[in-house]
């Protein structure tokens, strides 16, 4: 797979979602990146003093979308109609796509189709200024946190699929540490604000216990 080296870090599945420079959210994003560098994830995910929870969740949700977009982008060639005819996370978990609005009756489809639906849907939500306002002074809607929870719950399934069905390829690409760091950050974040129900995390519970045990005190 040597032909992939060098360019793979720029490869994304969907276009990257950018937070406009000059906005408060851009500053928050930079703050998040700086605290992550400190190496203490529990501290890095905490709401910075004086900041708005909705805004903090919004910035981080965009960041996780971008991270997953890139991680999945590195393995798309291995995630095909043939290799992944159903969207699964191990033998016990299978997901059918529905967004509750345009698709109400869950569709049984392949993993690449499911992830395409999921990421397109997530991007549409992140781009919706009434839901994810990026301008200063524009309030977040009352339903914001609920929507962010739904997005994060669905993004988790991409991690779950990658870990269960594509881990050997991730290792082969040398992306293992990158995937683990990203997922650990994601889990610490959703745990800090209780954003995903425990039963939704079940497909990766063992891994979650392992990743978080070292930091438990
Ligand atoms: Zn797959």
Residue pLDDT, tens place only, 109-132: 999 999 999 999 999 999 999 999
- Residues 159-214 have pLDDT tens digits of 999 999 999 999 999 999 999 999 999 999 999 999 999 999 999 999 999 988 86
- Residues 127-140 have pLDDT tens digits of 999 999 988 778 99
- Give 208 Cα–ligand 1 centroid separation in angstroms: 21
- Give 159 Cα–ligand 1 centroid separation in angstroms: 11
What's the confidence (pLDDT) of residue 216?
46
User: Structure tokens of 144?
Assistant: 């914001």
Instruction: Say if pTM beats, i.e. exceeds, 0.85.
Output: yes
- Give 52 Cα–ligand 1 centroid separation in angstroms: 37
Q: Residue 161: how many CB atoms within 10 A of its CB?
A: 26
Say whether 109 counts as a known binding-site residue.
no
Task: Using alpha carbons, select from 157, 127, 148 the residue that is nearest to residue 193.
Answer: 148
Question: DSSP letter string over the chain?
Answer: -GGGTTTGGG--SSPPPPPPTTSHHHHHHHHHHHHHTTS-HHHHTSPPTT--HHHHHHHHHHHHHHHHHHHHHHHGGGS-TTTTSSEESSTT-EE-B--SSS--SPBP--HHHHHHHHHHHHHHHHH-TTTS--STTPPPPTTHHHHHHHHHHHHHHHHHHHHHHHHHHHHHTT-HHHHHHHHHHHHHHHHHTT-S-GGGGGGGHHHHHHHHHTT--
Which sign, positive or negative, has the C-alpha torsion 122, 100, 129, 45?
Answer: negative
Say whether 84 counts as a known binding-site residue.
yes
Question: DSSP letter string over 64-84?
Answer: HHHHHHHHHHHHGGGS-TTTT
CA distance 17 to 209: 30
- Give 172 Cα–ligand 1 centroid separation in angstroms: 15
- Give 84 Cα–ligand 1 centroid separation in angstroms: 5
Say whether 79 counts as a known binding-site residue.
yes
**CATH class name, domain 21-213:** mainly alpha
Contact 211, 204 (CB under 8 A): no
- Give 161 Cα–ligand 1 centroid separation in angstroms: 6
- Residues 26-78 have pLDDT tens digits of 998 988 888 887 778 899 999 999 999 999 999 999 999 999 999 999 999 99
Which sign, positive or negative, has the C-alpha torsion 76, 203, 119, 68?
Answer: negative
- Give 135 Cα–ligand 1 centroid separation in angstroms: 37
Query: Is the predicted pLDDT of residue 6 greater than 50, yes or no?
Result: no
Say whether 166 counts as a known binding-site residue.
yes
Please report how the helices 144-172 and 53-75 are oriented relative to each other, as an axis angle in degrees rounded to 10. 30
Token look-up 């095909």 returns 80
What's the confidence (pLDDT) of residue 9?
53
């Amino acid at each position: 797979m040597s032909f992939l080296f060098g360019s793979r870090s720029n490869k994304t599945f969907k276009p990257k979602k950018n937070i406009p420079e000059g906005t408060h959210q851009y500053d928050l994003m930079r703050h998040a990146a700086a605290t992550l560098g400190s190496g203490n994830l529990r501290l890095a995910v905490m709401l910075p003093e004086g900041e708005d929870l909705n805004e903090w969740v919004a910035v981080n949700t965009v960041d996780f979308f971008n991270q997953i977009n890139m991680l999945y982008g590195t393995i798309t060639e291995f995630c095909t109609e043939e290799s992944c005819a159903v969207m699964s996370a191990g033998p016990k978990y299978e997901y059918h796509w529905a967004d509750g609005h345009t698709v109400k009756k869950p569709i049984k489809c392949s993993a690449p189709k499911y992830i395409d639906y999921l990421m397109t849907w997530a991007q549409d939500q992140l781009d919706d200024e009434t839901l994810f306002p990026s301008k200063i002074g524009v309030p977040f809607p009352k339903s914001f946190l609920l929507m962010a929870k739904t997005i994060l719950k669905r993004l988790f399934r991409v991690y779950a699929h990658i870990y269960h069905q594509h881990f050997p390829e991730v290792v082969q690409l040398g992306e293992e540490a990158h995937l683990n760091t990203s997922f650990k950050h994601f889990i610490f974040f959703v745990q800090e604000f209780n954003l995903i129900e425990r039963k939704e995390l079940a497909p990766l519970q063992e891994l979650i216990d392992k990743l978080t045990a070292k930091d438990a005190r």
